[in-house]
Structure 1
Amino acid sequence: MALKRMALMSLLGWPLATVAQSSVTLYGVIDANVEYVNHAGVVPTAANGFNPGPANDAYRLTSGGLSGSRWGLRGNEDLGGGIKALFVLESGFGIDNGLSQQSGRLFGRQAYVGVQSSRLGMVSLGRQYTSMFEALANFSPTAYATQYEPVVMQSGPNYRADNTVKYTGKFGGLTALAHWSFGVGVALPASVGFPIPIGGNGEVPGQFRRDTAYGGALAYTFGPFAATAGYDQWNPTIGTGTGTIKKAAVGASYAFGPAKIMGGYRWGQNRNAADALIQRDDFYWVGANYQVTPALALTLEYNYDDLKNLYGNTSVANPWQISFVADYSLSKRTDVYVTTAYAKNAGLMLDSLATVFANSLSLGNSYVLGNGQSNMFGVALGIRHKF
């Protein structure tokens, strides 16, 4: 019987060693909630005369509260000698409408192939997270919860990048990351205060710097203490030239009993194609996780951005946000949650001109302040299932 099975696999063209040493896993998350938001306008673009319009209450079904809804495939093949080949294909979608997210990409969350050595680390090629974004994930109290986390303010709209070569190495408690993107693939439309599109696909012959990006990060864990530091630079198309968007960040955390506290600081500086300063800010965050019972977890997070210069304006009101999450596990795979946030001097997720409204553009749900408003409140009740 065994010989017949081997003969059949041979006829079908299946390598016998691969059957024994390879694996492919289907996985995913489905997350949806019912949300209320006040003081919401629309994203100001050229199509509406850069006018966010009147402020309104919004009641909506939203995809992705604590996690972006997704499905994916990941696999690996043991090549021997502590080396393996691997791949990840991960597709983000809206459970509210079934549409692909990340600008309609089929595998917009991640899509890469690589090789990994147990001693030397991993090299991967494709669409991936930036080094700094990945390093900060364990130092953000809500763990990049989709709904209200000001991730664009923290890491920039280029936290996912196309055309990327990335290195990841883990050596005991130390993790090292570095990446280079030949063309980030982020394009933001003209907006109020800065009526020139930013970004593009890059990889244009004769324009090597156009839309490239690079960065690196280190993270270290020692018992209950952990710390990280990272740098990220994006050189987006601005008009007929390229600008420079730089960010550097540090973070730390400490766990004790059922609680964990964490916080960080991010320095930022943006310059246009003429090397003139268009944005300079210092972003801070602090928060805590508390496991009340094995099933109930609470999270509190505070974010503050010190905007020193925004397109020449040096007296911008500094945006801040406080958010709270209560998450209750019904099983290992299913949980229900309440998430809420209040933002001042910006919309939720701190969406504003300082982020080029990238959150609202990406999610398809506006967190832009309507005319005459300076604060926004949101609350959502949802359910999440992992498979």
Structure 2
Amino acid sequence: MKQQSYFRGASANALRVIAAAAAAMTAPGAHAQSGLTFYGVADDAISYVNNQNGHANLYLRQGNLYASKFGLQGSENLGDDMRAVFVLENGFDLNNGTQASSGSIFNRQAYVGLSSERYGSATLGRQYTPYFQFVGPLSSVAALTGAAGAHPGDLDGMDTTVRASNAALYVSPQWHGLQAAGMYALGGMAGSTGRGQTISVALRYSQGPLALAAGYLRMDNAFASTTSAAFDSSSSGSFGESVVNQGYVTARSMRDVAIAGNYTFGAARVGLMYSNVRYLPGARSLFTDTASFNTYGTFVRWQVTAPVDLAAGFSYTQASKANGISHAARYTQFSLKQGYQLSKRTALYALEAWQHASGQTLGSAGEVVNAAPAVGDSQNLTGSSTPTQIVAMLGIDMKF
């Protein structure tokens, strides 16, 4: 009963915030200079997994083609090529109506700032990192979706799992197809400014059929809790936990580097990507040696007709030998997607993926265990008890 009361209260608060924002943006004299957009996505699918921790499962899974969410996006024209902007965005579970993050109304994004075509944009709040914003659109996730197309357990954070709170972000204007971005998220720890900080920079180039991007991300563990057995929630950054990386979530710091490139041939687009993810140990970590994961990926997407698109992808992830592991983990994944656009806002889709794991990694207590497969970003903590996992989904997605 307490949980139900909490969610009713949180939903009521969210509605009050939305109503207040809408009233402010439509007040007399403000409408001509301002714009307010209410937007969102509802996405759900019938999903089959051949092995979740030892058992097959047929169930409903939301947020597969796109994450289920709603949000408010507003702007005000300040004159002289300058606008004030804000975004408030909440994720939710379509199958039970709960918030994606308990106690956080706008868990996905919440920021305010200034934007100019001439000078770029500067924003403050909870935001996606340049690493994700620039490299993510060129990764397999953009073509295949993260549910079945992200690299194992979304290890390199290409499926909207990496955000930073207390963040200052600057994105430059484009110059002959070139654009840069930088972020610094304050840890907010009194007496230790850098503790729990997040740093990210990225560069991208887009001209004609060619698009290239490179990004760097560093997230430091705040270690605010003496009993924390994970990446402390007081840290400004956070990343997804899965059976692939759960032995390293007590890291002192996590560092990501990724590069990606796409080339468009008429109705087809091909992409290549490489990422390196490192978990650095500290005095309070459950492991002692730096752990490294290298992922190589490729995909092709074909717009067969206006409503029909097909995509296929392959990735190979190789872990380092460290922390008593003699046979480092390996993950091989094949992914497929078929989409049919019923209208501009509604689509039907089918997703299929196969992943095989071999070698060893660390378990949640820091012990050496056999590597378990976890397809894309859909089976993070429900890995297979055998070396192979298969996922198939049939769903519908509607934007509003």
Same fold, judged at TM 0.5 (above): yes
Match of 2:7 in 1: none
Q: Which runs of structure 2 are paired with 1:259-274 in the superposition (5 Å)?
A: 259-274=268-283
Structure 1 residue identity aligned to 2:347: D
Q: TM-score, normalised by structure 2?
A: 0.77
1:235 aligns with 2:244: no
Taking a change above 3 Å as real, the CA distance of residues 295 and 353 of structure 1, as seen in their structure-2 partners, is: farther
Q: CA deviation at 1:353?
A: 5.3
Q: Secondary structure at the match of 2:154?
A: helix
Q: Deviations over 1:34-60 (max 9, x none)?
A: 00002211xxxxxxxxxxxxx000111
Q: CA deviation at 1:176?
A: 1.1
Match of 1:380 in 2: 393
Q: Deviations over 1:284-324 (max 9, x none)?
A: 11101100111100111112111013544252230121111
Q: TM-score, normalised by structure 1?
A: 0.79
Match of 2:92 in 1: 93
Q: CA deviation at 1:19?
A: 2.2
CA contact (8 A) 1:158 1:234 kept: no
How far apart in 2 are the matches of 1:168 and 1:212?
A: 19
Q: CA deviation at 1:102?
A: 3.5
Taking a change above 3 Å as real, the CA distance of residues 324 and 164 of structure 1, as seen in their structure-2 partners, is: same
1:295 aligns with 2:307: yes
Q: Deviations over 1:339-384 (max 9, x none)?
A: 01111118xxxx9959x99x99xx896653344x111101000000
Taking a change above 3 Å as real, the CA distance of residues 309 and 120 of structure 1, as seen in their structure-2 partners, is: farther
Structure 2 residue identity aligned to 1:279: A
Query: Alignment partner for residue 368 of structure 1, among 363, 382, 385?
Result: 382
Q: Deviations over 1:156-208 (max 9, x none)?
A: 8971111111111221412211111114xxxxxxxxxxxxxxxxxxx221232
Q: CA deviation at 1:73?
A: 0.4
5+ long unaligned stretches in structure 1 = 1-11, 42-54, 184-202
How far apart in 1 are the matches of 2:30 and 2:322?
A: 55
Taking a change above 3 Å as real, the CA distance of residues 222 and 322 of structure 1, as seen in their structure-2 partners, is: same
CA contact (8 A) 1:244 1:271 kept: yes
Query: Alignment partner for residue 153 of structure 1, among 152, 155, 175?
Result: 155
Q: Secondary structure at the match of 1:170?
A: coil
How far apart in 2 are the matches of 1:74 and 1:58?
A: 38
Q: Deviations over 1:114-169 (max 9, x none)?
A: 11122111011111111111111221133172422237312389711111111112
CA contact (8 A) 1:66 1:145 kept: yes
Match of 1:252 in 2: 261
Match of 1:344 in 2: 356
Match of 1:46 in 2: none
Taking a change above 3 Å as real, the CA distance of residues 216 and 366 of structure 1, as seen in their structure-2 partners, is: closer
Deviates more, 1:156-165 or 1:97-106: 156-165
- The root-mean-square deviation of aligned C-alpha atoms, in Å, is 2.9
CA contact (8 A) 1:369 1:375 kept: no
Structure 1 residue identity aligned to 2:389: M
Q: Which runs of structure 2 are paired with 1:170-249 in the superposition (5 Å)?
A: 170-172=173-175, 173-183=177-187, 203-237=188-222, 243-249=252-258
CA contact (8 A) 2:262 2:269 kept: yes
When the two structures are aligned, how many residues end up with a matched partner? Answer: 335
Q: CA deviation at 1:327?
A: 0.5
How far apart in 2 are the matches of 1:310 and 1:329?
A: 47
How far apart in 2 are the matches of 1:314 and 1:333?
A: 50
5+ long unaligned stretches in structure 2 = 1-23, 227-249
How far apart in 2 are the matches of 1:337 and 1:248?
A: 31
CA contact (8 A) 1:88 1:112 kept: yes
How far apart in 1 are the matches of 2:156 and 2:105?
A: 26
CA contact (8 A) 1:278 1:309 kept: no
CA contact (8 A) 1:211 1:242 kept: no
Match of 1:140 in 2: 139
Structure 2 residue identity aligned to 1:259: A
Q: Secondary structure at the match of 2:123?
A: strand
Q: Secondary structure at the match of 2:290?
A: strand
1:334 aligns with 2:346: yes
Query: Alignment partner for residue 283 of structure 1, among 280, 292, 295?
Result: 295
How far apart in 2 are the matches of 1:248 and 1:60?
A: 35
Taking a change above 3 Å as real, the CA distance of residues 14 and 266 of structure 1, as seen in their structure-2 partners, is: closer
CA contact (8 A) 1:63 1:69 kept: yes
Structure 2 residue identity aligned to 1:211: G
